[in-house]
């Protein structure tokens, strides 16, 4: 009997060991297992408390049918998502298949893991920041920065997948859309990243920081963008399809579609190069990619040595922005309809060969600036003249200006052709040793040969490119709202021009189908039904407070909502448009203050300033100013202060007072101080609750130097975070 009990005990243990673990928050998986399908709501407060941990080596996990959700419901505001979905903690040879993770700040984080493979997975609809740029102008709040990541600071901006100190990974057939950042690598080398879709993100598609020898091929990395409003501004705000930062070298980036990014490619040598003049993000190869339709630069690559061969760059501000690039080769690329095809300041020893420039305003612009920041270390440690270029074998077609060269020496221009070009060359400043013609011999310091291997397509590699006949092949297809880029998978209403026009013309965008007006508050709609794509006219009511809410019903093709819900073709889908604006009769006084008496440092001097005469007095129905110069006509560019007073009466409901300030701001409601950020700072958002009824408002603001932003608005609901 005892032997039988022992046998049954061992048999039970064997069966238990074969069973998959029950998934609950904090579950640790240490062996190969197939998990039962299902949606698992596993909360995570922060990266230190992941929903799921995978720890060990030689583990193969098939998550087919498994979805981990960190936020419920998943259609909530994505800037409220928290925590970490999956932590891969060390080990080697871990494979993750067919996993879906959504509703977290970070989908998956791998630390010190070798040969991790992620395949067939989906890390979409995770965290992203709310954006504050408007249709008419941007907000400086939305600008991104990647300069520091030695302690994985990038995690603060969210990611679908983040690899830290994890070499030889393979990421394939994986999707990350509608978050802020897609795949980020820090100090991780030798990865193969291919056949993925990292698109419609409000930050970065693929980002590298001290990450080298990675292969990035056959990926769709489109619409990774913010900071663009067609017809109003094209800033990009340092969003990008592919980011290569801080000594990331010897990477191969080929056969990718990287269209409609803030920049297509954003490459920067790194702070260590700025401080020492040494190194760079060097010897990367960018081959046969499409970097078109970037609001800023198709390829921005600075302070480094790289090869750009056979790429397509259409309709960008700059096709290539190559400031301080050296020993680089820009060859056999196709530039078309850019403001400037190639723009390089202080570049040296570069080759620009066999490219086609078609209808770019200026095809090639080379120059040196008259002065450089005296506090900047880089030019103290390096020769930063603009010099030594081989510009040969290029085709210039219908450009306004083919060559614009300023204070640049030793330029050889041979075997180029010019067709329908208005001005072949504009030369200014010191352009010694510039030679045009096949027989010209200009002594250059270029390397005699460039040792570059152009990669062949990978077996099984996707054709990632947008079709030439796609209706989205233009910059106008970039629509950015408060949650990032619109993905064209659901119907959407968007202003044709200004959002405050009366009446407002709205574009009806999205999959083919029909729409019908369901309700309209605060406005009338004409017509009341139509087809997608199309347009409609909205006429606001005569009420002083603009409170428009439109609801339309769509039927047509399959819909994927902005939060990832799928609606079958032919089923009804509700979409809408809203606008809320409370005009205030603001009485504004502008003052100029002395550099020695900054308002945040000298309260008595500021009080005396406000008792004096303003430099300008005006009335506005809104406080909304942003500028790198004068905030409003007739006031100084720097060291300016304002006092604004007004009254408002709000109908029943819940409201918030929201400010954006660079620099100091204070707000009183009925003599109570509710917002107090009286300091020099970059643009930041503050909020205070505001009850219904009548209120007296007073705002004080000052700007020290540099860019300035001053916005005060009343919004519906409790928007505090």
Q: Convert the pLDDT of each residue in 16-49 to its tens digit.
A: 444 667 789 999 999 999 899 999 999 999 999 9
- Assess whether 611 and 711 both reside in one domain: yes
Q: Are 449 and 307 in contact (CB under 8 A)?
A: no
The bridge status of strand 665-669 relative to strand 386-392 is: unpaired
Give the range of the structural domain holding residue 647, as residue numbers without chain letter.
586-716
What SS3 state is found at 607? Answer: helix
pLDDT for residue 307 is more than 90? yes
Number of domains forming the structure of the chain: 2
* Band of pLDDT at residue 373, cut at 50, 70 and 90: confident
d(CA 331, CA 446): 15
- Residue 93 domain-assigned? no
Distance from C-alpha of 608 to C-alpha of 610, rounded to nearest angstrom: 5
Tens digit of pLDDT for each residue in 202-253?
999 999 999 999 999 999 999 999 999 999 999 999 999 999 999 999 999 9
pLDDT at 13 over 50: no
Same domain, 505 and 572: yes
Let me know: does 294 contact 239? Beta carbons within 8 Å. Answer: no
Q: Which H or E run includes 532?
A: strand 529-540
For residue 683, give the CATH number of its domain.
2.60.120.260
Which residues does 553 contact at the CB level (< 8 Å), separation at least 6? 515, 516, 518, 572, 573, 574
Task: Identify whether 597 is part of a domain.
Answer: yes
Q: Specify whether 514 is located in the same domain as 622.
A: no
622 occurs within a structural domain: yes
Residue 17 and residue 13: Cα distance in Å, rounded? 6
In a domain, 662, yes or no: yes
* Mean pLDDT, rounded, for 73-84: 90
Provide mean pLDDT across the span 175-202.
Answer: 99
CA dist 567 and 555 (Å) reads: 10
Whether residue 685 sits in one domain with residue 616: yes
558 shares its domain with 591: no
628/689 same-domain check? yes
**From its phi and psi, is residue 112 left (phi > 0), alpha (psi between -120 and 50) or beta?**
left
Residues 638 and 593 in one domain: yes
- Phi and psi at 579, nearest 5°, equal -150, 130
pLDDT digits (tens, 9 = 90+) for 638-655: 999 999 999 999 999 999
* Interval 410-432: pLDDT, tens: 999 999 999 999 999 999 999 99
Per-residue pLDDT, 75: 77
Domain boundary among 517, 546, 580: 580
Distance between the two ends of the chain, CA-based, in angstroms? Answer: 65
- Residue 4's pLDDT is 47
d(CA 648, CA 579): 18
Residues 597 and 708 in one domain: yes
Within a domain: 629: yes
Final residue of a structural domain among 580, 599, 626:
580
Average pLDDT, the chain: 94
Give the whole-angstrom CA distance, residue 361 versus residue 341: 8
Rounded CA-CA distance 338/347 in Å is 20
Averaged pLDDT, 526-539: 98
Same domain for 691 and 705, yes or no, is: yes
Residue 590: which pLDDT band, with cuts at 50, 70 and 90?
Answer: very high
If asked whether residues 574 and 600 sit together in one domain, one would say no
**660, two tokens:** 């954006």
Nearest to residue 34, comparing CAs of 68, 61, 7, 12? Answer: 61
Whether 590 and 507 map to the same domain: the answer is no
Q: Is residue 704 part of a domain?
A: yes
Structure tokens belonging to residue 210: 């001290």
Q: Are residues 621 and 643 in the same domain?
A: yes
Reduced to 3 states (helix: H, G, I; strand: E, B; else coil), residue 690 is strand
Query: Structure pTM?
Result: 0.94
Residue 385 within a domain: no
Q: What is the CATH number of the domain that holds 527?
A: 2.60.40
In this model, does residue 442 exceed pLDDT 80?
Answer: no
Contacts (Cβ under 8 Å, ≥6 apart) of 152: 162, 164, 186
Give the pLDDT confidence of 105-137 residue by residue, as tens digits.
Answer: 999 999 999 999 999 999 999 999 999 999 999
Strands (E), 371-503: 386-392, 395-397, 401-406, 408-414, 417-419, 423-428, 434-436, 480-481, 484-485, 492-495
652 CB-contact burial (10 Å; exposed 0-12 / middle 13-18 / buried 19+): exposed
Q: 547, 563, 580: which is the final residue of a domain?
A: 580
Assess if residue 570 is contained within a domain.
yes
Q: In this predicted structure, what is the pLDDT of residue 332?
A: 98
> Which three-class secondary structure state does DSSP give residue 699?
strand
CB 352 within 8 A of CB 394: yes
Residue closest to 307 by CA, chosen among 329, 332, 282: 329
């Amino acid at each position: 009997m005892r032997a039988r009990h022992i046998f049954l005990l061992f048999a039970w243990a064997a069966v238990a060991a074969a069973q998959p673990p029950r998934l609950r928050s904090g579950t640790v998986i240490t062996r190969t297992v197939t998990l039962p399908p299902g949606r698992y709501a596993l909360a995570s407060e922060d990266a230190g408390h992941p929903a799921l941990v995978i720890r060990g080596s030689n583990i193969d996990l098939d998550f087919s049918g498994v979805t981990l959700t960190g936020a419920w419901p998943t259609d909530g505001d994505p800037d409220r998502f928290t925590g970490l979905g999956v932590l891969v903690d060390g080990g080697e040879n871990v494979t993750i298949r067919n996993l879906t993770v959504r509703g977290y700040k970070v989908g998956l984080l791998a630390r010190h893991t070798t040969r991790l493979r992620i395949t067939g997975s989906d890390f979409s609809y995770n965290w992203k920041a709310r954006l504050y740029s408007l249709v008419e102008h941007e907000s400086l709040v939305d600008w991104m920065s990647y300069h520091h990541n030695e302690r994985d600071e990038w995690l603060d901006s969210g990611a679908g997948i983040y690899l830290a100190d994890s070499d030889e990974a393979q990421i394939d057939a994986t999707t990350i859309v509608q978050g802020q950042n897609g795949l980020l690598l820090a100090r991780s080398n030798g990865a193969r990243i291919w056949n993925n879709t990292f698109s419609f993100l409000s930050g970065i598609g693929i980002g590298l920081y001290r990450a080298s020898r990675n292969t990035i091929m056959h990926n769709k990395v489109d619409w990774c963008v913010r900071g663009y409003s067609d017809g109003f501004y094209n800033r990009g705000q340092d969003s990008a399809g592919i980011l290569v930062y801080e000594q990331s070298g010897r990477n191969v980036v080929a056969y990718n579609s990287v269209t409609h990014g803030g920049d297509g490619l954003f490459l920067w040598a790194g702070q260590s190069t700025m401080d020492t003049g040494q190194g760079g993000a060097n010897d990367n190869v960018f081959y046969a990619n499409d970097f078109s339709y970037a609001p800023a630069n198709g390829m921005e690559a600075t302070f480094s040595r790289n090869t750009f061969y056979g790429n397509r760059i259409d309709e960008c501000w700059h096709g290539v922005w190559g400031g301080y690039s050296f020993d680089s080769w820009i060859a056999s690329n196709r530039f078309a309809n850019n403001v400037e095809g190639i723009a390089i300041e202080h570049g040296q020893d570069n080759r620009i060969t066999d490219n086609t420039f078609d209808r770019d305003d200026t095809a090639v612009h080379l120059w040196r600036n008259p002065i450089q920041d005296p506090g900047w270390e880089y030019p103290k440690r390096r020769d930063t003249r603009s010099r030594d270029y081989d510009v040969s074998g290029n085709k210039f077609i219908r450009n306004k200006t083919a060559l614009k060269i300023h204070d640049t020496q030793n330029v050889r221009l041979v075997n180029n052709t010019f067709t329908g070009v208005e001005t072949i060359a504009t030369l200014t400043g010191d352009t010694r040793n510039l030679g045009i013609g096949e027989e010209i011999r200009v002594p250059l310091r270029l390397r005699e040969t460039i040792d570059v291997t152009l990669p062949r397509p990978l077996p099984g590699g996707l054709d990632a490119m947008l079709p030439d006949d796609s209706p989205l092949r233009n910059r106008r297809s970039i629509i950015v709202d408060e949650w990032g880029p619109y993905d064209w998978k659901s119907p959407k209403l968007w202003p044709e021009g200004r959002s405050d026009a009366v009446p407002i013309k709205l574009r009806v965008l999205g999959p083919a189908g029909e729409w019908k007006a369901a309700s309209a508050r605060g406005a009338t709609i004409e017509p009341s039904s139509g087809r997608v794509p199309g347009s409609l006219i909205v006429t606001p009511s005569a009420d002083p407070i603009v409170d428009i809410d439109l609801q339309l019903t769509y039927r047509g093709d399959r819909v994927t909502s902005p939060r990832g819900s799928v609606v079958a073709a032919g089923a009804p889908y509700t979409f809408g448009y809203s606008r809320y604006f409370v005009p205030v009769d603001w009485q504004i006084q502008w003052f100029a203050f002395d550099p020695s008496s900054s308002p945040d440092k000298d309260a008595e001097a500021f009080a005396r300033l406000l008792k004096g005469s303003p430099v300008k007095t005006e009335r506005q129905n809104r406080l909304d100013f942003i500028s790198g110069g004068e905030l409003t006509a007739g006031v100084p560019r720097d060291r300016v202060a304002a006092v604004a007073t007004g009254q408002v009466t709000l109908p029943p409901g819940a409201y918030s007072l929201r400010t954006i300030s660079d620099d100091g701001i204070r707000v009183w409601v009925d003599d109570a101080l509710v917002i107090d950020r009286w300091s020099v700072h970059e643009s930041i958002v503050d909020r205070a609750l505001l009850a219904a009824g009548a209120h007296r408002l007073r705002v004080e603001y000052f700007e020290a130097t540099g860019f300035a932003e001053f916005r005060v608005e009343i919004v519906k609901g409790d928007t505090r975070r």
